[in-house]
Structure 1
Amino acid sequence: MVFLPPKEYGQLETVSDHIPICEFMLNEQHGRVAHDLSRDPYTCGITGRSYSSREVVDRVDSLARGLAKEFGWAPNKGTEWDKTMAIFSVNTIDSLPLFWAVHRLGGVVSPANAAYSAPELRHQLLDSKAKALFTCIPLLPTALEAAAKAGFPKSRIYLIDLPQEILGSTKTPTEYKSLAQILEAGKSLPPLEDLKWGPGEGTRRAAFLCYSSGTSGLPKGVMISHRNVIANTLQIKAYEKKHREAVRTRSSPVHTDIALGLLPQSHIYALVVICHAGAYRGDQTVVLPKFELKSYLASIQHFKITSLFLVPPIIINMLRSPDVCSKYDLSTVRELFTGAAPLGTETAAEFQKVYPNVLIRQGYGLTETCTVVTSTHPTDILLGSSGCIIPGFEARIMSPEGQEITSYDTPGEFVVRGPSVVLGYLNNEKATKETFEDGWMRTGDEAVIRRSPKGTEHVFIVDRIKELIKVKGMQVAPAELEAHLLAHPAVADCAVIAVPDETAGEVPKAIVVKSPAAGSDEAASESIRKHVQDHKARHKWLKGGVKFVDAVPKSPSGKILRRLIRDQEKEARRKTGVKL
């Protein structure tokens, strides 16, 4: 059985397959909200500096000319892989103009996570075969170490300019060219020839090479086409169109939001949902370089943010810091959108109680789907759900034996198909064949379909299939227990893993960061265990115990690094002589 999007929430229009992202985003003939009706697409949350839509168009043009001169690149010469640009930087308002300038030349952008270590960045430089690297002063030492280990020439390292408020007393090294210098040089250069693309080129040509964290081994390069990004942008627009039209004011012919651009622009969630879909529909994005609770709250208050795009760790941080949050006016926030990792029902309900006027929406997607597959519709909220399938996607629930599951509330692997499913993995045919087949993508996530009170089909992501705990043959989803534990006042953060058990095979163990309200380890552990026993079936009890730690290892997007925790637990058991 194929599950489809609710028709009442919009239909996907035709997705162009012959234009680059820069053309789609900067030319109003492709449906982008008109310049004079939109807000400034990108505003620096530190300085307040802002670019209008027209200024972005001019910057992209000048940057493209400057890059063409600097690297000898031309729009219609060579393949995109001859023009691969790596970007290793904190968030800035110059990132997207730089990305689109590379696309204007027919190149590929490979954004690297700003939290990367030198070995991780080295892997991406080598795997992507990047021809140049743009970084920023705070990350320059890591970039230089990675470049040296990769044999990457220092002459191909460039700096993205950052506000002095971020740099402080740090001096800018003069031996590296800056983005501002390249842009300025481009202003006096002759115009570039247009990209000459035929039908299907937007589908075949890679625009971004994003690296998926992966569940094993080194991160894999995910090849994302121009059409993938364009399609998901249009899918998001179609899904929310009726609602946004309904909330227009009399003074404005279009509804626009002021969104917080806090999440890493290297991550697919921020890259597409915030940076592309937001600008396309005329929203303003206030860009912050990194998360720090007080500056984050101050930005919401100062810029009168209406939409928060967050990940669960930030939401939990807000709930566990009521004294700090109470000092700021957050009354302009109308909705919160969370993704990248599941937000449990209990945590969502707790947030709703503290902030009753904020709509809580959740989305589900992957780098391999060029982000959003399901999303909570603003008029159809069901806490704990990842929402409905968005226009253009279809989905199946598959049993471990490969049979289609057709009933509700029956878990299986979530398999999806749609126009934003990516081209595959770079230089990894085996992984590509295992994940993609006939347009369908195996997500590796277990899901169930349930009907909401409105009668629409909602998707609930249970957990990663490989991370499910088997207790006497019965499945326990770590995410379910984690969501429940976070409702306990002694728990500031947590993870649940499987540990071996002679009679049950595996049992759950909680890795917990205590909140300030928690008492002694012994009292807190007993209270947490009882919290689970009072509300969950016996096979879900914490028979593996409770372990207190200073921090739960997570990726920058908020995903628990469960494999790392399991490895640490295994090593600890080995040292103590416990049977593995």
Structure 2
Amino acid sequence: MVFYPPPWVPKLPFDPPDSVTIGEFMKNEVYGRRPIDKSKNPWTCGLTGKTYTVKQAFERTELLAKALHKLMGWEPNADLPWDKVICVFSYNTIDYISVLHSVHRLSGIATPANVAYNASELEHQLRSSGAKCLFTCLPVLETALQAAKAVGIPEDRIFLMELPHHSKKLPYKTVDDLVELGRSVPDLEPLQWTKGQGARQVAFLCFSSGTSGLPKAVMVSHRNVIANTMQISLFEDYGRKKKGVKTQVELGLLPFSHIYGLVVVAHCAPWRGDEVIVLPKFEFNEFLQAIERFKINYLPLVPPIIVRMLSSRDTVKKFDLSSVRHVFTGAAPLGSETQDELRKLLPKWKVGQGYGLTETATVVSATSEHDIVQGTSGSLVPGAKVKLIDQDGREVTEYGKPGELLVQSPSVTLGYLNNERATSETYVFDEDGRWMRTGDEVIVTKSPAGYEHITVVDRLKELIKVKGHQVAPAELEAHLLSHPAVDDCAVIAVHDDRDGEVPKAFVVTPASMSSRPDAEIAAEIIKHVQEHKAHYKWLKGGVEFIDAIPKSPSGKILRRLLRDKDREARRAQGAKL
């Protein structure tokens, strides 16, 4: 049984354009963006108030493209996109999206990198993507230099994104330097794309943790981002119109390197004429100050930020947050109890959830302001359809019955770079066409208004989501096995009030370690991870020693049994307290 968006959801007015770049789609009113003269400034720094108008932002994109043309020798209509790849390894700035779009103007590819990466993780992304130059920022410059050196990117191809309160004269060209250089370069020739090129050509290489090994590069096409921008905007506009909202001020705190921030915030908001208040990273007081100062109406967040608000109620009450109308959470489920507590603290805030993946770039379902059902991830966006497959491989045809979610949408991505096996396992075909297997178990139910809603029941892929970051247990397990005190291991997600989920390791030690104290070995293992992995992959859930890792006859780790064991131990500990 195929599920579709509810009847109230507007249909896409036309097929998402498949022959233009994302940047062209964003600035050309013929494709449906809000008229430029009726749009707010798209980018404003939440710390300094520095802002760009729509036309200034577009001009900076063009000037940056001209500078890259001059420095890198890249032509708009020559060579392959894979010969023109830039990596952006930086905190959010008001120039972030202009930098990404500048390489698209040259028919190249951008790969945004997680600023929490260490040098070896960034090196993996640079090498896998084939990046030829690197945009970074002062706080992570040392990491960037180390990774760039490892893959042979020369220092004259490293450029700095300027951050508020981080100014230092260094021998690297800044974004402002490139903009000025671009003013002296002759105009670029127009792109000459063929029909359907935007659907075939990669715009972004976004790295997503899979079920095993290092993160995989998801190939996101121009049309994927264009389609989801249209889908989200049409979906949310229905609820906005009922509230009389034409344009609004949105928070730009979520990392633009993550697909959630990249599409939902950095593309949807400016396209529909909204203003994005950009914050480089989460600092609690700065977050609250920005809401008050800029009268922010719409907050795209992740659950750990809401948890932090609830644990700091006295601080929250010091700020005027009355401008906020709607909160949208994603990247991990928001618990019902947490949602209840937020409503008690800030009763005028409407809170909804959404669901999406890097591979669906991005949103599959979302909560409309007029049909909020606590605990669900809302209804399907325009142009999306899904089906559920049960454990026996049969299609689910009834409400309330769980099954793995398969998605069909114009935003479903092209596949994984240089990984045919993972692509063929994730992107499958049947008589109804091409589907993306999410690995997530969901149910479909009806809201009190009679509209179908998606609820995520379990993650079959076993990904751990820490503050919006995805952690593949298999990657940590492979690293743990390199430690001499680890004979076998398994990593699971455990609940944490601050971070939502954190990794915990179950470890089997070799007989040779039997005389050593458990606490000493655990400390060594935790340190081993901290020295080699990004902070969100650290074993904040701890290390527990076990006689044997439970596995199926085929050798698959039975993580559900380990989760049950952890929950029982926590309950027992709570009872003792």
Measured against the shorter chain, the TM-score band is: 0.7 to 0.9
Distance 2:499 2:17 in 1: 46
Q: What is the match of residue 450 of structure 2? A: 455
- SS across alignment from 1:36: helix
AA of the residue aligned to 1:171:
K
Greater Cα offset, 277-286 or 152-161: 152-161
Greater Cα offset, 199-208 or 150-159: 150-159
Structure 1 residue 282 displacement after superposition: 0.4
1:103-142 matched pairs, under 5 angstroms: 103-142=104-143
AA of the residue aligned to 1:446:
E
Q: What is the match of residue 101 of structure 1? A: 102
Distance 2:209 2:284 in 1: 25
Q: What is the match of residue 50 of structure 1? A: 51
Q: Report if aligned partners of 1:10, 1:241 keep a CA contact under 8 Å in 2.
A: no
Runs of 5+ in structure 1 lacking a partner? 250-254, 469-477, 501-548
Structure 1 residue 7 displacement after superposition: 2.1
The yes-or-no answer on 1:171 pairing with 2:171 is no
Distance 2:335 2:240 in 1: 27
Q: What is the match of residue 303 of structure 2? A: 312
Q: Report if aligned partners of 1:210, 1:223 keep a CA contact under 8 Å in 2.
A: yes
Q: What is the match of residue 510 of structure 1? A: none
AA of the residue aligned to 2:452:
E
Distance 1:287 1:496 in 2: 30
Q: What is the match of residue 22 of structure 2? A: 21
Q: What is the match of residue 508 of structure 1? A: none
Q: What is the match of residue 31 of structure 1? A: 32
C-alpha distance 56-229 of structure 1, shift in aligned 2 (>3 A): same
Q: What is the match of residue 2 of structure 2? A: 2
- SS across alignment from 2:38: coil
Q: What is the match of residue 181 of structure 1? A: 177
Greater Cα offset, 91-100 or 153-162: 153-162
Runs of 5+ in structure 2 lacking a partner? 464-491, 508-525, 549-561, 563-577
Distance 1:41 1:80 in 2: 28
Structure 1 residue 493 displacement after superposition: 5.6
C-alpha distance 257-201 of structure 1, shift in aligned 2 (>3 A): same
- SS across alignment from 2:300: strand
Q: What is the match of residue 517 of structure 2? A: none
Find the partner of 2:315 among 319, 324, 333. Answer: 324
Structure 1 residue 495 displacement after superposition: 5.8
Q: What is the match of residue 341 of structure 1? A: 332
Q: What is the match of residue 399 of structure 1? A: 390
The yes-or-no answer on 1:219 pairing with 2:215 is yes
Greater Cα offset, 130-139 or 346-355: 346-355
C-alpha distance 493-267 of structure 1, shift in aligned 2 (>3 A): closer
Find the partner of 2:406 among 412, 415, 426. Answer: 415
Structure 1 residue 557 displacement after superposition: 13
- SS across alignment from 2:36: coil
AA of the residue aligned to 1:303:
F
Distance 1:448 1:561 in 2: 29
1:142-221 matched pairs, under 5 angstroms: 142-163=143-164, 165=165, 167=166, 171-173=168-170, 175-221=171-217
Q: How many residues align?
A: 496
Q: Report if aligned partners of 1:340, 1:557 keep a CA contact under 8 Å in 2.
A: no
Task: Show CA shifts across 1:12-37 (max 9, x none).
Answer: 12211111101000122211111211
**RMSD value, Cα:** 2.7
Find the partner of 1:441 among 436, 460, 465. Answer: 436
C-alpha distance 243-492 of structure 1, shift in aligned 2 (>3 A): closer
Structure 1 residue 130 displacement after superposition: 0.3
Distance 1:557 1:203 in 2: 34
Q: What is the match of residue 515 of structure 1? A: none
Q: What is the match of residue 233 of structure 1? A: 229
- SS across alignment from 2:377: coil
Greater Cα offset, 52-61 or 102-111: 52-61
Q: Report if aligned partners of 1:137, 1:172 keep a CA contact under 8 Å in 2.
A: no
Q: Report if aligned partners of 2:426, 2:438 keep a CA contact under 8 Å in 1.
A: yes
Distance 2:504 2:55 in 1: 51
AA of the residue aligned to 1:181:
D
Structure 1 residue 498 displacement after superposition: 10
Distance 2:255 2:266 in 1: 10
Task: Show CA shifts across 1:68-91 (max 9, x none).
Answer: 111111111112111000000010
- SS across alignment from 1:7: coil
Structure 1 residue 372 displacement after superposition: 0.2
The yes-or-no answer on 1:300 pairing with 2:291 is yes
Q: What is the match of residue 528 of structure 1? A: none
Q: Report if aligned partners of 1:263, 1:557 keep a CA contact under 8 Å in 2.
A: no
Same amino acid, percent of matched pairs: 49
Task: Show CA shifts across 1:240-298 (max 9, x none).
Answer: 2333333336xxxxx01101100101000010000000000000000000001011001
Q: What is the match of residue 71 of structure 1? A: 72
Structure 1 residue 154 displacement after superposition: 2.0
- SS across alignment from 2:116: coil
**TM-score, structure 1 normalization:** 0.81
AA of the residue aligned to 2:310:
L
Q: Report if aligned partners of 2:224, 2:413 keep a CA contact under 8 Å in 1.
A: yes
- SS across alignment from 1:237: helix
Structure 1 residue 382 displacement after superposition: 0.4
Greater Cα offset, 139-148 or 259-268: 139-148
AA of the residue aligned to 2:398:
S
Find the partner of 1:379 among 337, 361, 370. Answer: 370
Q: What is the match of residue 543 of structure 2? A: 569
Q: Report if aligned partners of 2:210, 2:461 keep a CA contact under 8 Å in 1.
A: no
Q: Report if aligned partners of 1:370, 1:420 keep a CA contact under 8 Å in 2.
A: yes
Distance 1:291 1:343 in 2: 18
Structure 1 residue 214 displacement after superposition: 2.4
Structure 1 residue 176 displacement after superposition: 1.3
Task: Show CA shifts across 1:384-433 (max 9, x none).
Answer: 10000111111011112211111111111111111000000000001000
Q: Report if aligned partners of 1:268, 1:370 keep a CA contact under 8 Å in 2.
A: yes
Distance 1:228 1:492 in 2: 30
Q: Report if aligned partners of 2:211, 2:462 keep a CA contact under 8 Å in 1.
A: no
- SS across alignment from 1:347: helix
Distance 2:233 2:11 in 1: 10
Q: Report if aligned partners of 1:85, 1:109 keep a CA contact under 8 Å in 2.
A: yes
AA of the residue aligned to 2:168:
K
Distance 1:52 1:185 in 2: 21
AA of the residue aligned to 2:439:
G
Distance 1:23 1:68 in 2: 18
Q: Report if aligned partners of 1:395, 1:417 keep a CA contact under 8 Å in 2.
A: yes
Structure 1 residue 434 displacement after superposition: 0.5
C-alpha distance 185-431 of structure 1, shift in aligned 2 (>3 A): same
Structure 1 residue 191 displacement after superposition: 1.1
Q: What is the match of residue 465 of structure 1? A: 460
